Amino acid sequence: MLDETNSGNVLVEVRDLKMHFPIHAGVFKKRVGEVKAVDGISFDIFEGETLGLVGESGCGKSTAGRAILRLYDITEGSIKIDGVEIGPTPQPKLREMRPTMQMVFQDPQASLNPRMSVAAIIGEPLDEHTDFSKKEKREKVLGLMDAVGLNRDFANRYPHEFSGGQRQRIGIARALALNPKFIVCDEPIAALDVSIQAQVVNLLEDLQEEFGLTYLFISHDLSMVRHIADRVAVMYLGRVVELATREELFRAPKHPYTQALLSAVPEPDPSLEEKVERILLEGDVPSPSKPPKGCNFCTRCPQVMDICKEIDPTGKEIAAGHQVACHLYADT
């Protein structure tokens, strides 16, 4: 984790990133529209920090994570990782950059090949990107198993022989194999039993400290994000609506959507629980293929004004490091 001042260097710079998926219809598969899953997001991630990316399911946060790692060919925008622009880089060329940036997926069951042993799974990136001898590779794999708390005696076992938490440790070990700088953790604990979620989060924190990792931690679980993130970006319908340090965001959320989201988080202190005012949002999240005119949140916002239905608010820095995209803060 970074200190409060965020004085580190920028490792990841995302600017106006868009990921639109075409909608085709009819016999001739004509393009009839597009799903604007990510619609112009911008932020920096500092070296060694964890940026939490939160929002309800379908808000575009997972697509954003994949797009930043260029698992997709993006629609528009710029992504710089360690100073290198990868937005327009063709896929074959990206292969050379893969070691720097890795992903830990939500469902360890689905992301591990059931026919490969644990050693083969963890060592697979080494086959592709290094010319390690068999012995060197074995040593590296066993070292990674130690690092993520897996018993090295189990190196020749298969994924189905492990629990969900252990499988996620296998996925983390594989992500670490090439000494990455930046890891996108896409809901890494959502598929796990509550009792082991904290263990995996603690492991990610320990590994961050040990290897100097930088995380984009994608989650719908605000309590977990509050625990792990240095700063938090809140997404709604393909946009980042608020970004602030964890302390600032949880202490004084400014965007009406963030306020509603946080009001739904259970308060651990029972004496404060009664004082929490829940904000219930009405209506459904609009389709990302037909976002409303003006502010994306205007169809559900408890504080909507006339201007909101006409003009799209742009992100504004209302205090050092605290950005909000909302007309309520136009004059601050």
With 0-12 CB in 10 A as exposed, 13-18 as middle and 19+ as buried, what is 273? exposed
Give whichever of 50 and 296 is closer to ligand SF4, judged by the CB atom.
296
Task: Report the nearest approach of ligand SF4 to the CB of residue 302 (Å).
Answer: 8
Task: Report the nearest approach of ligand SF4 to the CB of residue 306 (Å).
Answer: 9
Kindly give, in sequence order, each residue whose CB lies less than 8 Å from that of residue 330, ignoring residues fewer than 6 positions away. Answer: 313, 316
Task: Report the nearest approach of ligand SF4 to the CB of residue 301 (Å).
Answer: 3
In the complex, which residues of this chain contact ligand SF4 (CB under 6 A)?
255-256, 295, 297-298, 301, 303-305, 308, 313, 326-328
Kindly give, in sequence order, each residue whose CB lies less than 8 Å from that of residue 290, ignoring residues fewer than 6 positions away. Answer: none
Task: Report the nearest approach of ligand SF4 to the CB of residue 308 (Å).
Answer: 3
Compute CA distances 124 → 140, 177, 204, 268, whole Å.
12, 9, 21, 42
Task: Report the nearest approach of ligand SF4 to the CB of residue 300 (Å).
Answer: 8
Bridge partners, 50 (sequence order): 215
Helix (H), strand (E) at residue 273: helix 270-273
Nearest to 38 by CA among 11, 75, 70: 75
